[in-house]
Amino acid sequence: MREKALAGIIAEAKAPANGSVEPLNDEIAEYEEKYALKSKRLLEQLSSGEREETEEIISWLMLIRLRERVDSTRSS
């Protein structure tokens, strides 16, 4: 199941970044709720070494990066 979810995220990341950001926000919000942690704080913890990457954290990071990609193309 985890591999299927990760494959779906990878496929979305490879697709043109012209979709809606709302589904990404929803998925990211699920991780934030599960971990009781905002994405910005997650990135800070990873950067400082306070938190280690797990498969689930990597999936969360991929969603964050994909949202940034979609946002950047919408801003252009």
- Domain ranges (residues) in the chain: 20-75
What digits encode the pLDDT tens for the residues 7-41? 666 666 555 455 578 889 999 999 999 999 999 99
pTM above 0.75, yes or no: no
Closest by CA to 13, choosing from 2, 28, 29, 24, is 24
